A = this chain, B = another copy of it.
């Protein structure tokens, strides 16, 4: 197992170079005026496959030995990791089977198939995606590609943080605060490793759906706590049952605290992104912006980075959100 440190993130950055998009760090005078700080938006909705997940997936798959990749890979995912793995596998000529919940957004299922992957459905609330995945992998001799609890995945997602630090430096900005969504915690763990190594004074906050605030509660408790099984949220990308085994210790060390936002705050932020920022951001991708817009943290006079982690949202859901919110 590789160490998960700045060197691993830098190695991932080299591996994905030319394959992943170096997404822009955007600014908006209207947003700055709205929140009273200088906001920089890391637009991972503009990433290949529509979310940051391509980074970790490509980093993992490109590091496989030929003997491993020959039998293909298996992954489970609500959708974005599915698309990331499928897109990376297609580029590298590796067969991919993806275990997806039967209620995953259509666009994520279609896109996963569009990248040539095999999609296998399971019931999110009654079946274990892990069991199904490992059983299939054993049968095929395939490698399982976890969505967050894997050093290569975490290091790959960490390239988001590496780029943020580099881009902020180029723009002459010191990052006071960084807000990043948190499902299983891979993106924020990797990002925190890179950002805190290059900008130790930056305070990093996770942002979760209010009903899936396991990381926020776990940070307070000092141990991994789960979400209740009956919890629901429109943030389909952030529905991990509990913090990861690998990701939580990293986040425990590097994060300042955890914030959370309601589904209504998420919808308002999606509508704001449409109306003012002209960006398509999915529910799980917009939580950091939602925390800013709903005043979950005072950023007056501060330089704040908010990660927009993905934009894979069904047209009918997006239409509902932009039409019903003012």
CB < 8 Å neighbour of A24 from B24, B316, B318? B24
Determine whether the beta carbon of A107 is less than 8 Å from that of B275. Answer: yes
- List the B residue with the shortest CB-CB distance to A29: B48
- List the B residue with the shortest CB-CB distance to A46: B278
Determine whether the beta carbon of A322 is less than 8 Å from that of B318. Answer: yes
Determine whether the beta carbon of B278 is less than 8 Å from that of A281. Answer: yes
Determine whether the beta carbon of B274 is less than 8 Å from that of A315. Answer: yes
Q: How far is the CB of A80 from chain B (nearest CB, A)?
A: 12
Give the one of A45, A271, A315 with max B CB within 10 A: A315
A50 within 8 A of B: yes
Determine whether the beta carbon of B21 is less than 8 Å from that of A29. Answer: yes
- List the B residue with the shortest CB-CB distance to A24: B24
**Main SS of the interface on chain A?**
helix
Residues of the B chain whose Cβ atoms lie less than 8 Å from the Cβ of A177 = none
Q: How far is the CB of A33 from chain B (nearest CB, A)?
A: 11
Residue interface bits A55-95, CB-to-B below 8 A is 1, else 0:
00000000000000000000000000000000000000000
A323 within 8 A of B: yes
Within 8 A of B (CB), among A270-326: 271, 274-281, 311, 315-316, 318-319, 322-323
Residues of the B chain whose Cβ atoms lie less than 8 Å from the Cβ of A311 = 278
Q: How far is the CA of A303 from the CA of B214 in the complex (A)?
A: 47
A102 within 8 A of B: no
- List the B residue with the shortest CB-CB distance to A54: B29
Determine whether the beta carbon of A315 is less than 8 Å from that of B275. Answer: yes
A2 within 8 A of B: no
CB < 8 Å neighbour of A315 from B19, B277, B323? B323
A27 within 8 A of B: yes
- List the B residue with the shortest CB-CB distance to A273: B280
A231 within 8 A of B: no
Residue interface bits A189-232, CB-to-B below 8 A is 1, else 0:
00000000000000000000000000000000000000000000
Within 8 A of B (CB), among A1-43: 19, 21, 24, 26-30
Determine whether the beta carbon of A46 is less than 8 Å from that of B319. Answer: no
Residues of the B chain whose Cβ atoms lie less than 8 Å from the Cβ of A28 = 21, 46, 48
Q: Can you name 20 A-B residue pairings with CB atoms under 8 Å?
A: A19-B29, A21-B27, A21-B28, A24-B24, A26-B46, A30-B48, A46-B278, A50-B278, A271-B315, A275-B315, A278-B280, A278-B311, A279-B279, A279-B280, A280-B280, A315-B319, A315-B322, A316-B323, A318-B322, A319-B322
> Which residues of A line the B interface, CB within 8 A?
19, 21, 24, 26-30, 45-46, 48, 50, 107, 271, 274-281, 311, 315-316, 318-319, 322-323
Which 7 A-B residue pairs are closest in the complex by CB-CB distance?
A278-B311, A319-B319, A24-B24, A278-B280, A315-B322, A45-B278, A315-B323
